[in-house]
Chain A
Amino acid sequence: MCSACGYPPAPGHWTDAGAVTPGDRLRNRLMRMTVVNRILAPYHLSARDDGVIPGIQLSSGFGASVIVPDLEMLWAEAARMAGRPIDPLARDG
């Protein structure tokens, strides 16, 4: 359990596979954010992972902010904030 956020350490989302060393894991977390933000941009949402706090910080243009433990929760929470599903296949967002 993280004493700052209260999330128990999860067994790991499938996207965490493929990075075994701590360095790779951190690099993975930071590199994800570029694509996450590209997908979230049409919904006026942004996400941040500073590599220190466990989890991803998701915020809306209106000031709402939440910390989510993994990408699965991120898409669910982003859909709730945006009021519609986050669809990376939509042509115009």
Chain B
Amino acid sequence: MAEADGRIPLTILGGYLGAGKSSWLRHQLHVGGFSGAHVLVNEAAEMPVDHLLLAGAEGLTILADGCACCDGAARFVAAMRGLCDRRVASIVLETSGLSDPARIAAHIAADGVLARRIRVVGTVVVADALHAAAQLATEPLWLCQIEAADRIVLTKADVATPGALARLAATMAVVNPGAEVSGAVLGSAVKLPETHGIAPLAILPPENEAAPIRTLRLDVSAAASWAAISVWLSAVLHTHGDDLVRVKGIVRAPAGRLLLQAVRGTVQPPEILPDTLASDGTAEAVENVIVFIGRGLEDDRIGCSFRTLMA
């Protein structure tokens, strides 16, 4: 609902690549949270996949190709102004996994129009309980995201051990003592273990200049079959899972279009997507495309390997 002063409430949903932002938001929309909210989804990669997961939103805008906190900032501000003109009741912004929520809030405050018409009511950051310990050590951005949160949701709480979960919750309390920390499994809240007396993880200064994260879009329609693609992808993820922070794709299989999602070598059970989406005619065209987001993608090793092994 609009605030008393007429400003539109905005909730920023952040979190690292593959932390479970869309899954969490999908569940919140499903159980009636953020009712009447317009969902704005920002994707750094060229192919928007997340909107396929968010069919339950009141209204949905996709900002693909460009992160709202840096190179896509101008387009983000324009889209937000457009939403203000449409007088939506409230807005939920799902950031790309590479955005810093604090910088997005800064863009809104810096824009003369948005500063008067938008009020940031909360920043929810989801953190992947399974990979957080590794991300803490290697990703300075991850730390920025956690520090920017008012509310931290530890997702995938069912796959982490209770000890690791407690330690992570204790670490969050050190990194961002002001934030409320909760646990979730596919969006439904779960109780976190007791953190009293548990030592937090060590927060090391980030390693010197890690290779930049890039995105690569691979057309896999040349492959013989889903069986062949899955074998190749499983081998790539097995060996290079740590460099591939996120893999998303839609591939045609005998049973239908499969939505593939992987985070650091861990693949979610693929979902079968409906062949057509009534609300969005453009979505049916996307097929046999896999997007890789990770390090060491510069010299097209993935493309070469795919062409050699699949041709």
Contact = CB atoms under 8 A, between A and B. Distances in A.
Contacts of B225: 28, 31
A20 interface: yes
Contacts of B304: 89, 91
Nearest to B235: A88
A18 B253 contact: yes
Interface residues of B, number: 32
Contact of A88 (B236, B255, B260, B269): B236
A84 to B, nearest CB: 10
B268 interface: yes
Interface stretch (B50-58, B77-85, B120-128, B226-234): B226-234
Interface stretch (A2-10, A33-41, A58-66): A33-41
Interface in B257-276: 258, 260, 267-270, 272
B269 A17 contact: yes
A89 B305 contact: yes
A35 B305 contact: no
Interface string B211-251: 00000000000001111101110111011100000000001
Contacts of B267: 14
A27 B239 contact: no
B130 to A, nearest CB: 15
Contacts of B224: 31, 34
A89 B240 contact: yes
A91 B238 CA distance: 17
Main secondary structure of the interface of B (DSSP, over half): helix
The DSSP consensus for interface residues of chain A is helix
Contacts of A89: 236, 239-240, 301-302, 304-305
Contact of A15 (B231, B254, B255, B310): B231
Interface string B269-311: 1101000000000000000000000000000011011000110
A28 B234 contact: no
A85 interface: yes
- In this complex, the interface size class of chain A, counting residues with CB under 8 Å from chain B, is 20 to 34
Given A24-B254, A35-B310, A89-B301, A18 B268 contact: no
Contacts of A75: 234-235, 238-239
A85 B255 contact: no
Contacts of A44: none
Interface of B: 224-228, 230-232, 234-236, 238-240, 251, 253-256, 258, 260, 267-270, 272, 301-302, 304-305, 309-310
Given A28-B225, A35-B309, 17 more contacts: A14-B270, A15-B227, A17-B255, A18-B251, A18-B253, A19-B226, A20-B254, A28-B226, A35-B231, A35-B310, A36-B231, A72-B238, A75-B234, A75-B239, A86-B239, A88-B309, A89-B302
8 contacts: A15-B234, A17-B255, A18-B230, A18-B251, A18-B254, A18-B255, A32-B227, A35-B228
Closest 5 pairs (CB-CB, A-B): A18-B253, A15-B230, A31-B227, A75-B238, A35-B231
